[in-house]
Amino acid sequence: MPKEQHPVAVDGGVGIPVPRDGEVWAVGAVILDGHGRAFAQRRGPDRRLFPDCWDVVGGHVEPGESLMEALVREVAEETGWRARRVRRLLGATTWTGDDGVTRHEADYLVEVDGDLRHPALEWSKHTSYAWFGPEDLPRLKENRGPGEHLVHDLIARALQDHPPGA
């Protein structure tokens, strides 16, 4: 059973898919700072999926957990920040990892509380982090093949829709 979590505000009109039995789901959070830059972390080189690639905060939805519960938990686990508000659904997609497992993923624009200058990364899983503005987007394609630009496209969409101060 999921542990008690703080409530997170979800803006009206934010879509929250309902997983069907047997589906594997993941959630992702695009987090912006006050300068209109998006947070990403580099996955470790020994990770099974997408080694040494940039990624948004997120992970798998555990059994018995809702998408919002998973989103709040993943933000806290991967950054030490507290999810405060879910602004919008950036997209829902289905993809098959290089492990052959098909996953459904819902990615959100999320506001957080905490010291954005000092994320508490899971250093066993991630090797670095950076804040990406529009001029930095090409770096998000590092170590990805042609057409494998989910993280790039999510962050580009979030930056386009929410310029600094928005």
Contact (CB, 8 A) for 161 and 108: no
User: How many residues are recorded in the chain?
Assistant: 166
- pLDDT of 6: 64
The domain locations on the chain are 9-161
User: Token digits for 40?
Assistant: 């990403």
> Between 6 and 25, where is the model more confident?
25
Does pTM top 0.85 for this prediction? yes
Question: Average pLDDT, stretch 65-94?
Answer: 96
Average pLDDT over every residue of 47-73:
93
8, 43, 143, 157 from 84: Cα distances, Å = 5, 25, 32, 21
Residue 28's alpha-carbon distances to 135, 165, in angstroms, are 22, 22
**What's the mean pLDDT when you consider all of the chain?**
90
Cα separation, 14 vs 44, whole angstroms: 32
Superfamily of domain 9-161 in CATH is Nucleoside Triphosphate Pyrophosphohydrolase (3.90.79.10)
Residue 12: pLDDT band with limits 50, 70, 90: very high
Is pLDDT of 32 > 50? yes
